[in-house]
Amino acid sequence: MPRSNILFALLFIVLLGLSEAPGRRSLYAFASSSSDGICKSMIETQGYPCQEHKVTTEDGYILSMQRIVVGQSGSKGDKPPVLLQHGVLADAITWVLAPYNKSLPFILADNGYDVWLGNTRGTKYSNGHTSLSTSDKAYWEWSWDELSSYDLHALVQYVYNHTGQKLYYAGHSQGTLIALAAFSQKNLLNMIRSAALFAPIAHLNNIPSPAIQLAARSLLATALYWLKLGEFIPKSQEVRQLIGTICNSSGTNCSDLVKLFTGPSCCISFTTIDTLLLHEPQPTATKNLIHFSQVVSTRKIAKYDYGNPIQNMQHYGQLNPPQYNMASIPKDFPLFLCYGKNDILADVKDVEFLINNDLKDHDKGKLEVVYSEEYGHLDFIMASNAKEVVYEPVLDFFKRT
Ligand SMILES: *[C@@H]1O[C@H](CO)[C@@H](O)[C@H](O)[C@H]1NC(C)=O
Ligand SMILES: *[C@@H]1O[C@H](CO)[C@@H](O)[C@H](O)[C@H]1NC(C)=O
Ligand SMILES: *[C@@H]1O[C@H](CO)[C@@H](O)[C@H](O)[C@H]1NC(C)=O
Ligand SMILES: *[C@@H]1O[C@H](CO)[C@@H](O)[C@H](O)[C@H]1NC(C)=O
């Protein structure tokens, strides 16, 4: 049962949007003031100085990053940089929703790390381009292949250039897939010390939710329609319609969509969820969600399939899209993986397949795994006890790698 990030996105959006529990803010009603960056609205408000940075990818997308150099102590730490990379339909704000002493970026800064938050193309604070605008269809011509080869590459290279040091990496959900894809091609490894992967997404063969499976099938069946739209806007009429259809035909009670699509979360406070709904979900490319659906339906981790041999030949020089071979990740590259029993996107069976098959020959001392009996997909970055369950083990791991 794979859980697709697509699904994740859909679910996330849908769940959040459709769960109109009293007192909860509707997704469709959130007001966005776009004048202030993430530093001003989410980081300085927690008492941390913050710098906004911009980096342009090789294909012209202008991405924003936030940097926290100084922790509570008020003086600059002595540890290397860390880059944090968010999931699909989300942006860097998802890392800083909990209070400062429970959120990974602030905990890292307080421990002396130089913390950088990346935002992938198409999200609210990374929607610039050297020649295109978000209303151009061409702006949305990408999937997680490009997030891996262009966005992640630019973000890592920028931090490396700027600090003159190799960095640590921490990713959530889609932020793990794009890193694993790069590592499997032996990219970026010269600039990264080690990687912590929260709710890792690679194989999507065991999605337990009929609604998610149906969402993936629906997107693939109507791919031409969706691709014409270019941008996947979670709050749009089209997406609400899709979700309504999926709920109806899978017999799903959509009043509990969030839980349905990400798995039940054990430990996220209502305040954190309310703040989450103020800022997320973020748009993505429909092509990206179709690519995730392809991973679900083909049970292969491959590049985007253009759906016909001629176009695949044009893009890849072969009839079928090339596959990512996760077993090619160098065996001595230090990895930390954490996953949870209640996660229906990073399903336990799929994560364990990655660990026990692709990574079976990984050097013993270079692969660490944390498993939670109670965590769902979002707990890893938002739970009120994530510091004890996940972040402290990650700090130990960084110290040793
Ligand atoms: C976080 O800070 C609050 C208020 O300052 C305190 O009550 C709480 O115990 C702290 N939590 C952790 C995990 O340190
Ligand atoms: C990093 O530095 C190299 C060499 O000076 C330069 O070619 C490249 O454009 C820089 N990249 C970024 C993202 O800063
Ligand atoms: C779902 O079913 C309800 C009740 O049968 C109907 O009112 C609604 O229009 C349906 N929604 C969609 C999107 O098909
Ligand atoms: C859907 O779930 C909600 C909350 O659990 C419940 O109040 C509601 O009655 C359910 N609706 C249906 C049609 O089962």
CATH number, domain containing residue 330: 3.40.50.1820
Q: Given this model, what pLDDT does residue 254 score? A: 76
> Residue 35 carries which side chain, given as an amino acid letter?
S
Is the confidence at residue 159, as pLDDT, over 90?
yes
| Cα 98 from Cα 101, distance rounded (Å) | 8
| Cα 289 from Cα 243, distance rounded (Å) | 14
Mean pLDDT across 285-308? 97
Mean pLDDT of the chain: 89
| Cα 373 from Cα 100, distance rounded (Å) | 25
In the chain, helix, strand, coil percent, each to 5? Answer: 45, 15, 40
Is the confidence at residue 28, as pLDDT, over 70?
no
Q: pLDDT, tens digit, for every residue of 311-332?
A: 999 999 999 999 999 999 999 9
Is 388 domain-assigned?
yes
Is 270 domain-assigned?
no
For ligand 2, whether the C-beta of 55 sits within 6 Å is: yes
Catalytic residue numbers read 173, 343, 377
Query: Which residue's alpha carbon is at the smallest distance from atom 12 of ligand 4?
Result: 253
- State both tokens at 287: 């092509």
For ligand 1, whether the C-beta of 46 sits within 6 Å is: no
CB 79 within 8 A of CB 105: no
What is the distance in A from the centroid of ligand 3 to the CA of 241? Answer: 9
Is 248 domain-assigned?
no
Pairing verdict, β 192-198 and 335-340: parallel
Is 226 domain-assigned?
no
Is 172 domain-assigned?
yes
Mean pLDDT across 198-212? 92
| Residue 36: pLDDT band with limits 50, 70, 90 | confident
Is the confidence at residue 199, as pLDDT, over 90?
yes
| Cα 239 from Cα 11, distance rounded (Å) | 11
Mean pLDDT across 67-89? 94
Is 230 domain-assigned?
no
Atom number in ligand 3 closest to CA 241: 13
Q: Given this model, what pLDDT does residue 6 score? A: 38
Is 103 domain-assigned?
yes
Looking at the DSSP assignment, which residues form a beta bridge with residue 338? 198, 370
Is the confidence at residue 255, as pLDDT, over 80?
no
How many domains does the chain fold into? 1
- State both tokens at 27: 């997704």
Pocket of ligand 3 (CB under 6 A): 241, 244-245, 248
Q: Given this model, what pLDDT does residue 249 score? A: 84
Is 111 domain-assigned?
yes
Q: Given this model, what pLDDT does residue 26 score? A: 32
Pocket of ligand 4 (CB under 6 A): 253, 255-256
What one-character-per-residue DSSP string does 366-388 give?
GEEEEEESS--TTHHHH-TTHII
Is the confidence at residue 296, as pLDDT, over 70?
yes
What is the distance in A from the centroid of ligand 2 to the CA of 154? Answer: 9
> Residue 306 carries which side chain, given as an amino acid letter?
Y
What is the distance in A from the centroid of ligand 3 to the CA of 225? Answer: 21
Mean pLDDT across 251-258? 71
For ligand 1, whether the C-beta of 101 sits within 6 Å is: yes
What is the distance in A from the centroid of ligand 4 to the CA of 354? Answer: 36
pTM of the model: 0.89
Query: In which domain, by residue range, is 370 found?
Result: 35-207+284-400
Is the confidence at residue 13, as pLDDT, over 60?
no
